[in-house]
Amino acid sequence: MKRVSLMFCFILLFNYCFGQMTLEGTIKDVDSGEPLVGATVKAGEAGTTSDVNGFFALNIKNSTEVTISYIGYTTIVLPLNEQGTQVVEIQMESTSTVLDVATVTGSKYERSIARAPVSINVVKPELIANTNTVKINTLLDKLPGVQIVDNQAIIRGGSGWSYGAGSRVLLLIDDIPALQGDAGRPLWGDIPVENISQIEVVKGASSTLYGSSAMNGIINIRTGYATAEPTTKAFVGYTHFMDPSDEAKKWWDSAPSRYTVGMVHKRKIGNLDMVANGFYENYDSYYQDGFERKYRLAANLKYRLSDRVVFGLNSLYNRGEAADNFIWRDGGSGAYKPADNTFSERITTRYYFDPQVSITTKNNDRHKILGRYYYVDNDNNLNQANSSYNTYLEYQFLKSFSEDKTSLAAGVVHQYINSDSELWSNVELSSTNMGAFVQLDHKLSEDITLTGGLRYEHNTAKSPEIFLGDTI
């Protein structure tokens, strides 16, 4: 009996040693040589992800191959040695097909556009650069199904818009709402065109994940990220306005013009990712006495405390002064001149800070906390100045099941808006929005994904019941 037991233990030990190995190495982009963070490495039931340096280590049992995948890159399958330690260097090639572009807006997961549960258009930074875009709304107006009416985005004719409520198209910057708090409208000129990685346009309702402001769609501006090698880019733009065909409408001696200067610097310093960018615009309008001078400064910082804990802080500051008219004088020689008492001058200051924390567990569950403090101050010469501040806090929980075929996104949201306007005799107005959401996506096949979700919102508004003798 002892001999049989000893032989049985020896056989188990032999099989264990024969069927187990360790695979370790680095995963990089084949063109740039940059490490790919968060690439998935799977062999049988074992799996892991690459760290900030692209490094991974995986203990494997009873498997003859390993699969390395990363969104936007061609999947690689490697054969394995039967035992011992195998060291590899993986170089992955980016895919050229549009369906492999990674998006995050549709489900809060970063996944290929082919697996997104909603219709999404993705605009890459090359198009922004090639069109000399200064304000994103001029570019969005060229997308199929998207219209910009009175500076409001309307997608597929889903709605009109009303002052203070917007068009139910939500503007996001880095996944956080960026609509002006007091008017519910986007400020297109504040978006950092000099540092955009891509623009994601969701065509259709996404109110489960983003609330009632997204009932007609979403425009998500995703800013650029740090690169392994320090990178600095700059651009200069110039626009020259020609004389009108009708000389009677010309009021200027020297032609109106616009010039812009922008720059962005990206680099990694140890565990710190840093992106800094700036922009300046000087615009002399073809409308008489109209002009705009503004500058912008921004910085995005991300610190990796470990492979699973990341802290971030994004910031953006815009300041400018401008003058224009509300209506033209007449349809003849006064077409580019202001009508009486319709000319205004203004000074604007707007900034935000975005603290963020992301924690990934050993089971690859993700906990995220996103925050934003957004301040707006608009001062003008017509006693119509206003200011507002907007605080936003969101907690997200993301989990995948069944070999990534099923994904869960859940969270809670709190938003507080305070507004002060001369139009309302400087009476403070405020509103609070609290919400909770859950959404489940299940991939039935390569072509079919089922999506279901639920959201609860509670809104309160604080305003005077009687104002200037009228009941509100």
CB-based contacts of 62, cutoff 8 Å, min separation 6: 19, 44
- Which of 205, 130, 88, 262 lies closest to 439 in space, CA to CA? 205
165-188: pLDDT as tens digits: 566 788 899 989 888 877 777 888
Low-confidence spans in the chain with pLDDT less than 70: 1-19, 71-72, 81-83, 95-117, 158-167, 206, 402-403, 466-472
Asked if 37 and 123 sit in the same domain, the reply is no
Give pLDDT, residue 99: 43
Give pLDDT, residue 159: 64
Asked if 88 and 124 sit in the same domain, the reply is no
Q: Indicate the number of domains in the chain.
A: 2
Asked if 400 and 310 sit in the same domain, the reply is yes
Last residue of a domain, which of 73, 92, 111? 92
Other CB atoms within 10 A of residue 325 CB: 20
Give the span between the Cα atoms of 288 and 201, in whole angstroms: 36
Assigned token pair, 189: 């000129």
Give pLDDT, residue 103: 65
The secondary element (H helix, E strand) that includes residue 16 is helix 2-19
Asked if 157 and 88 sit in the same domain, the reply is no
Asked if 338 and 292 sit in the same domain, the reply is yes
Last residue of a domain, which of 77, 92, 107? 92
Asked if 102 and 88 sit in the same domain, the reply is no
Is the Cα torsion angle 108, 113, 117, 121 positive or negative in sign? positive
Asked if 85 and 174 sit in the same domain, the reply is no
Give the span between the Cα atoms of 340 and 343, in whole angstroms: 7
Asked if 86 and 105 sit in the same domain, the reply is no
Whichever domain contains 52, its CATH number is 2.60.40.10
- Which of 259, 316, 264 lies closest to 292 in space, CA to CA? 259
Asked if 352 and 378 sit in the same domain, the reply is yes
Give pLDDT, residue 101: 59
Asked if 210 and 228 sit in the same domain, the reply is yes
Give pLDDT, residue 1: 42
Asked if 104 and 38 sit in the same domain, the reply is no
Write out the E strands in 326-446: 343-360, 366-380, 386-401, 406-421, 428-443
Assigned token pair, 351: 């900034």
By residue count, the chain amounts to 472
Asked if 54 and 141 sit in the same domain, the reply is no
Give the span between the Cα atoms of 454 and 1, in whole angstroms: 62
Give pLDDT, residue 17: 44
Contact between residue 436 and residue 412 where contact means Cβ atoms under 8 Å apart: yes
Last residue of a domain, which of 92, 116, 136? 92
Give pLDDT, residue 280: 97
Assigned token pair, 344: 């205004």
Whichever domain contains 436, its CATH number is 2.40.170.20
Cα 188 to its chain centre, rounded Å, is 14
Alpha helices in 99-169 (DSSP H): 125-130, 136-140
Give pLDDT, residue 3: 44
From its phi and psi, is residue 208 left (phi > 0), alpha (psi between -120 and 50) or beta? alpha
Which domain covers residue 337, as residue numbers? Answer: 98-471
Give pLDDT, residue 278: 96
